[in-house]
Amino acid sequence: AQSVTQPDIHITVSEGASLELRCNYSYGATPYLFWYVQSPGQGLQLLLKYFSGDTLVQGIKGFEAEFKRSQSSFNLRKPSVHWSDAAEYFCATDNYGQNFVFGPGTRLSVLP
């Protein structure tokens, strides 16, 4: 079965600092990978996705992610964090086209 790990349960950064959230997956073939954000009390919003092609993908809100097959990783980055980025971030992979398998999530706190 597919699995996704997010090693960091909680990360705190200062506003304006750079951010990297880690995601590792287990998959034999090329995975379909996603990053979603969940603001407090809200549903999940897609930030970006990787299906194939360029391994650096751009998303909304200034986020980007890089797919590295050799490391089985799909880390999310942002050069300068804003206070409104405080939320829960989920990495997910597609389970053979049937459903998503989500990582456990990383909670991001932003210090003023």
Partner 1 sequence: DTAVSQTPKYLVTQMGNDKSIKCEQNLGHDTMYWYKQDSKKFLKIMFSYNNKELIINETVPNRFSPKSPDKAHLNLHINSLELGDSAVYFCASSQDLGYNEQFFGPGTRLTVL
Q: Which is nearer to partner 1, 4 or 81 (CB)?
A: 4
Question: Which residues inside 29-58 make contact with partner 1, applying CB under 8 A?
Answer: 32, 34, 36, 38, 42-46, 49, 51
Instruction: Report which of 86, 71, 95 is spatially closest to residue 10, judged by C-alpha positions.
Output: 86
- Which two structure tokens, joined as six digits, stand for 110? 């932003």
CB atoms within 10 A of CB 99: 10
> Would you count residue 97 as binding partner 1 (CB under 8 A)?
yes
Residue with structure tokens 């090693």? 7
Note the residues at the interface with partner 1 (CB under 8 A): 32, 34, 36, 38, 42-46, 49, 51, 88, 90, 94-95, 97-102, 104-105, 107
